[in-house]
Structure formats: C-alpha cells, structure tokens
Structure 1
Amino acid sequence: MSNQQKGKDLLIGAIVGGVLGAATALLFAPKSGRELRSDIAGQAQAVSEKTVQIASTVSQKTQEVAKTVSTHATDLVGKAKETASNVVESVRSWKESRQEEQVEAAEEVSEAAEDLVIVGNR
C-alpha cells in the first residue's frame, strides 16, 4: 500500500471517527435543543479544524517523502551511469588488448611463414 493511500485512509478515518464520536457524545448528553445545536456547531467546527490540520500534516509528510525518494532515485541513477561507464571502458580496454594480441600473433605467423619460405628456398 502506498504512502499516499495510507494518508488518505488516515484522513478519512479521522474525519469519520471525529464526526461519529462528536455526534454520539452530543446526542446522548442531556441538553436542551438550543444547547445541543450550539454544541453540534462547535464540534463540527473543531472537527473541521482538525481535518485541515491533519490534511496539512499529510501533505507535508508526502512532500518530504517525495523529496527523499527523488534524491535517492537521482543518486541511484548516477551510480548506475557510473557503473555502466566503467563496464563499457573495461570492455573497450579488453577489446583493444585482444586486437593488439591478434596483430602481434599475425605478425609472428607472417614472420614464421617468411622463415619457412627462406628455408624452403635453400
């Protein structure tokens, strides 16, 4: 489950829990209609403020996580490029050394063939 989904679930849970808890507490309190409506309005305001606060916190945490992930991803990409460059350079060096060895072997074969021709002509 992603962090964003967890944040949404937390926010929804907080809202639903706050509303249900406030409504239950107010409805079971022995008060007059005017007092009850006033308490409900106050609790609705408190839930609204708490929801805004939680949403702000979730937003900040999400931004922090996104920034951290971005930094780590950038580091990993840099390391991958460096490793790939090292591998390419190693392969290139190996290939060049193999070509030099082939040239040297061809020269040795050519010299040996010349020696055989000289020996054969005697």
Structure 2
Amino acid sequence: MRAFLIRSAFTGLGLWIATLIVPGVDFDFGDLTSWWEKLGVVLLVAILFGLINGIIKPIVQVLAIPLYVVTLGLIHIVINALMLRITSWCTDNVFPVGLQVDDIFWSGVFGAIVISIVGWLTALLMKDRLENMYR
C-alpha cells in the first residue's frame, strides 16, 4: 500500500509537470484556493489515473497487439494519451474539479510522454522489492 501511495504521489508530480509544460493539459481547481486542497485534487487525479492504467490499459494493450507490431511499438504513446484522456473524461463527468486534456493529439500525446518520463524516473528510484510490496 505504501508503494502505491508513493507511486501515486510521483504520478501526481508527473501530471503537475505535464500541466506546466504541455499546452492543453491543465488542472481545473474550480473554486479551490488553498494550496492543500489543490494538492489533494492532484493526488486524487493521480490515484484515478493509476486505477485507469491498472484496469483499462491492459485490456487496450491486448486488443492493440497487431498495432504494436505494425507501428513497432509507437502505438504505446497513443494508448498512454488515451488513458490520460479517459482520466480527463472521468474527472470532468464525476467531479467538479480535475484534469483537463483538450485532445488526444497533440496535448494528450505530449502529456503522456512527460508523464512516462516521470514514471520512468520513478521506476529508477523505486525498485520493486518484496519488502516494499507488503508494508
């Protein structure tokens, strides 16, 4: 559980960095003004993004196996952008605050690249060890 929360925090950092770098990817905080409330929104969106990546993404990846072969794996970036867009759709329709992604191309693709780079750096910092999984 601790590893999931730490990864979610790093995913939130990746989402926040993506909103700073990529035009078209923004957080909608609504009427929230407190820094802590905004941090809570970022963490909740990161947890939702992690759940979507854990549940929907494997199904999409299995269905897209022929596209992985044809595109030599570049479809993975588009699938990541799709997961980002699904997260945006979920937060738009369920919560009054959340993530805003204008479109899958190019905002979603560039945002997915930024989040993937932060995720890669997270994987370098946090090695999957047995003791991390059960604490």
TM-score (norm 1): 0.30
More strand by share: 2
More helix by share: 1
For the pair shown, which has the larger CA radius of gyration, 1 or 2? 1
Considering Cα pairs closer than 8 Å and 6+ residues apart, tell me whether 1 or 2 has the greater RCO: 2
